[in-house]
Structure 1
Amino acid sequence: MSYVDGFLLPVPKKNLAAYKKMAAKAGKIWREHGALDFRESVSDDESVKFGLPFSKIAKLKKGEVVLFSYIVFKSRAHRDKVNARVMKDSRLQAMCPDPKKMPFDVKRMGYGGFRTIVSA
């Protein structure tokens, strides 16, 4: 079964275009290094009738939207190898020279690695 790195992060609406541009570049880098899929999704429907909407989980501030993103790998071992290569890639390092200048607050980003248990 595949392995997925998942992300949940708040992004100021005014920074959404910059984030999209950065994510498109990052996606190409991850795919070049072996990731099977790379997706970035912006919240569109938060009117849930049960559970908690992602906007509440991400504790959105006024003027922010929530993004749900994921990267798919063959396995956890594959993820570890791909991510090690990505983190050494000078193109990624050039995109993120100063965490304070990112289009989102890195400290508020949710992240986790997940084993796939169902694939339909």
Structure 2
Amino acid sequence: MTFIQGFLVPVPEGNREKYREMAKSAVPMFEKHGMVRMVECWADDVPHGETTDMYRATKAEDGEIIVFSWVDWGTKEAWQKAHKAFSEDEEMEAPAEMPFDGMRMTFAEFDTLGEAGPGGNSAYVHGYVAPVPNAGKDAFAEMCATMREVAIDAGALRAVDSFAPSIADGKITDFKQAVKAEQGESVAFGFTEWASKADYEAGMAKMREDDRMPAPGSDMPIDGKRLIFGGFEVLLDTAQEG
């Protein structure tokens, strides 16, 4: 199991390479304090929703795209140790110039509900954030387990679902606001990794035909109208960097 720090970041479209370089420059410090893996994904197909979406989640402005990102710390204990070390490390410095508005970056820590797949070199990611009723956590976890199985059978490299029962209020944005979470709801963060966009598109077609998928109109353990999601190109993956 993994312990994930998940992010949604609004980035001006012209700052793609600046953002990648900023993220890459942080890798040595993160690895020094125990990071297992960092993945940064650049929006490719992120739809606008009727109720909410990843743009509204970050209060994105005209000309900004969404970065979907996660850092794997392995365990919650490792993250807590790193968090404390960051505040004490004299080498820890913020970039002189940020390629995005950090005040609108949305982030939180998530415990893994489940994961599947052998992994491998991924180039495309489907990511989501969802509101989950606390009373329906087990039903949601069961649905996710089935979906992971279907995704891997359809060609996905890896699928992960995670859950945060408690998220701090943000000054401008946070994951609760992102999915309009109501009282008695928590937030889930998950992703599926694919070798390429072509594999993702072919895999999604297979998944839609799979009898294990929920039938259209069937009861779901989450409010699908507040589910936010999108397809992303992998911009940086420390597991694949030289």
TM-score (norm. length: structure 1): 0.88
How far off its partner does 1:107 sit? 1.0
**Is 2:189 the partner of 1:68?**
yes
Q: Aligned with 1:42: secondary structure?
A: strand
Query: Is residue 154–residue 203 contact of structure 2 (8 Å, CA) maintained in 1?
Result: yes
| 1:116 corresponds to 2:230 | no
**Residue 97 of structure 1, CA deviation:** 2.6
Call closer, same or farther: CA 1:104–1:44 in 2, change over 3 Å. closer
Say yes or no: does 1:107 pair with 2:107: no
| Mapped contact 1:7–1:110 kept (Cα < 8 A) | yes
Q: How does 1:41-60 map to 2 (within 5 A)?
A: 41-44=162-165, 46-47=167-168, 52-60=173-181
1:76-114 superposed Cα distances (whole Å, 9 cap, x missing partner): 11100011001101121xxx2353510011111101000
State the structure with bigger RCO (CA 8 A, min sep 6), 1 or 2. 1
How many angstroms apart in 2 are the aligned matches of 1:49 and 1:90? 40
1:14 aligns to what?
135
1:15 aligns to what SS in structure 2?
Answer: helix
Give the direction of change, closer, same or farther, for the CA distance of 1:51–1:43 in structure 2 (3 Å limit): farther
- Identity within the alignment, %: 27
> What is the 5 A alignment of 1:76-91?
76-91=197-212
When residues 88 and 100 of structure 1 are mapped into structure 2, their CA distance, relative to the original with a 3 A threshold, is closer
Considering only aligned residues, what root-mean-square deviation do their CA atoms show, in Å? 1.8
Give the structure 2 partner of residue 38 of structure 1: 159
Structure 1 residues 86 and 98: CA distance shift in structure 2, 3 A: closer
Higher share of residues assigned helix: 1
**Distance change in 2, residues 1:49/1:12 (3 Å):** closer
The separation in 1 between residues aligned to 2:218 and 2:225, in whole angstroms, is 10
User: Structure 1 residues 115 and 50 mapped into 2: Cα distance closer, same or farther (>3 Å)?
Assistant: farther
1:8 maps to a residue whose letter is V
The alignment covers a number of residue pairs equal to 117
Which is worse superposed, 41-50 or 62-71? 41-50
Pick closer, same or farther for the CA change 1:24–1:30 going to 2, 3 Å.
same
CA deviation vs aligned residue, 1:15-69 (integer Å, no higher than 9, x gap) = 1100101110110111011101111110155237776321121111000001111
Cα separation, 2, equivalents of 1:45 and 1:91:
31
Which has the higher mean CA deviation after the structures are superposed, 24-33 or 48-57?
48-57
| Structure 2: gaps spanning 5 or more residues | 1-121
TM-score normalised by L of structure 2? 0.45
Pair 1:17–1:75, CA change in 2 (3 A): same
